[in-house]
């Protein structure tokens, strides 16, 4: 007979990700609509209904001030002293 007590202890529980706080209403910038998914990530859709990814998406989110610019280009421009 299997020990029922041991089977419950052997299972590991996964840590749940915290849900994003507050309600985020869709933002329209130029020809783009920005929404936030349940996972907390942002979705950027153009006027034709296509999702944007990569550098285009990142630049639009930075322009909307929803995320900080962490690209290599931004880091290099900040390091150069003004002359």
Q: What is the pLDDT of residues 27-56, one digit of tens each?
A: 898 899 999 998 889 999 999 999 999 999
- Establish if 10 belongs to a structural domain: no
Range of the domain at 56: 22-69
- Establish if 77 belongs to a structural domain: no
Q: Residue 22's pLDDT is what?
A: 73
- Establish if 63 belongs to a structural domain: yes
Q: pTM for this one?
A: 0.58
**Where is pLDDT greater, at 12 or 74?**
12
With a cut of 70, say whether residue 20 has pLDDT above it: no
Q: Residue 69's pLDDT is what?
A: 83
3-state secondary structure 24-56: CCCEEECCEEEEECCCCCEEEEECCCCECCHHH
User: What is the percentage of the chain residues whose pLDDT exceeds 70?
Assistant: 66
- Establish if 27 belongs to a structural domain: yes
Q: How are beta strands 42-46 and 27-29 bridged, if at all?
A: unpaired
* Number of domains composing the chain: 1
């Amino acid at each position: 007979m299997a020990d029922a007590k041991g089977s419950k202890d052997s299972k590991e529980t996964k840590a749940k990700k915290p849900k994003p706080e507050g309600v985020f209403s869709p933002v329209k910038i130029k020809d783009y609509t920005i929404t936030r998914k349940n996972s907390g990530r942002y979705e950027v859709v153009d006027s034709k209904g296509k999702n944007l990814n990569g550098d285009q998406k990142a630049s639009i989110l930075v322009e909307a001030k929803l995320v900080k610019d962490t690209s290599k280009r931004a880091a290099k421009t900040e390091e150069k002293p003004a002359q």
